[in-house]
Amino acid sequence: MRAAGSGPPRRRRVWGYVTPLLLLAPSLIFYGVFVLQPLVKSVELSFTDWDGAAPTLNYVGLDNYAQLIGDDRFLLALGRTVIWSALYIALAVGGGLLFAALITELRRGQALVRALAFLPHALALAVTGVIWAQLFHPNIGAINAGLEAMHLGGLAQAWLGEPLLALPSVAVSSGWHAYGFYMVIFLASMQTIDPQLYEAAAIDGAGGWHRFRHVTLPGLHNATTVVLTLATINSLKGFDAVWAMTGGGPAYATEIVAVYIWRVAFQVGELGLAAAASVILTIIVLAFTIGFNRNRDRRAV
């Protein structure tokens, strides 16, 4: 280092990168070996009909992609993923935002409420799924029992057994798990909003809703971008909850793309097809992420 510093300028410039690159190297090795390498391999597999056992890869061009685009099961799984993400964002992000707005108005106890609302997020999503599978249980579940206690027993359902109710029911469990997480981000962002804006709004006679609509929401624009990006990516982790609660059923009713990929790869053994589905999913997620963040940059200027 010291010797390099006294060398000619060109050599010094090159040597100056040695330390930073050494600092970077451990993370890059992990990331390269266990993330980037399999990612490239996924793309390669998506052009083959590999079944997991064949000793060599047989390239089939775009056949897997063509098959997916014509496959109702895959298209329905995509559609369910859109519904799933929308439900997740409405419950977890919407819930987190509203609750954050509520508790900023609290005079005291804010930190306690924040910590309690965050508690479900400390659990594994799979554990959350097991808990909610019992809450939704038709015979022993608290939800049906609660409805009966309120003399609404007619509304009792086999929540996870009904094709139309299963996906929203799983989404409720994921919303419970995650809303505190988004709430914490929104709260942190709300604290950066200039209090004078609230005072000005109060002088203008604005009520709680107007303050929220015209001061809080615009002030949260960049946090909202971060949260929507995070939520879109996190909604794919819905796999854990689905797997623990319904396994993708009844029949295909909760088969989101993440579950489709798992079933087709590891239960049917069509690894090439599943890899193609994973590539399509990745492209969709990247497109959404870039879309959200372009919006952020332009508005921030």
Non-local (6+) Cβ contacts of 143 within 8 A are: 135, 136, 159
> Which of 141, 215, 216, 246 is in the footprint of other proteins by CB under 8 A?
141
Q: How far is the CB of 123 from other proteins (least distance, A)?
A: 5
The site map against other proteins for 35-74 (x = CB under 8 A) is: x-xxx-xx--x------x----------------------
- Is residue 141 within 8 Å of 160, Cβ to Cβ? no
> How far apart (Å, rounded) are the C-alpha atoms in residues 139 and 238?
25
First-to-last CA distance in the chain?
41
> Which of 60, 130, 165, 193 is in the footprint of other proteins by CB under 8 A?
130
> How far apart (Å, rounded) are the C-alpha atoms in residues 49 and 46?
8
Q: Would you count residue 147 as binding other proteins (CB under 8 A)? A: no
Q: Would you count residue 14 as binding other proteins (CB under 8 A)? A: no
- CB of 115 or CB of 164, closer to other proteins: 115
Nearest partner of 117 among 103, 105, 132, judged by Cα: 103
Judged by CB under 8 A, the chain residues 218 through 237 that form the site for other proteins are 223, 226, 229-230, 233, 236-237
> How far apart (Å, rounded) are the C-alpha atoms in residues 293 and 289?
6
- CB of 87 or CB of 143, closer to other proteins: 143
- Is residue 228 within 8 Å of 89, Cβ to Cβ? yes
Q: Would you count residue 122 as binding other proteins (CB under 8 A)? A: yes
Judged by CB under 8 A, the chain residues 277 through 296 that form the site for other proteins are 278-279, 281-282, 285-286, 289
Q: Interior CA angle at 132 toward 128 and 137, to 5°?
A: 155
Q: Would you count residue 125 as binding other proteins (CB under 8 A)? A: yes
Judged by CB under 8 A, the chain residues 173 through 212 that form the site for other proteins are 176, 180-181, 184-185, 187-189, 192, 202-203, 207-208
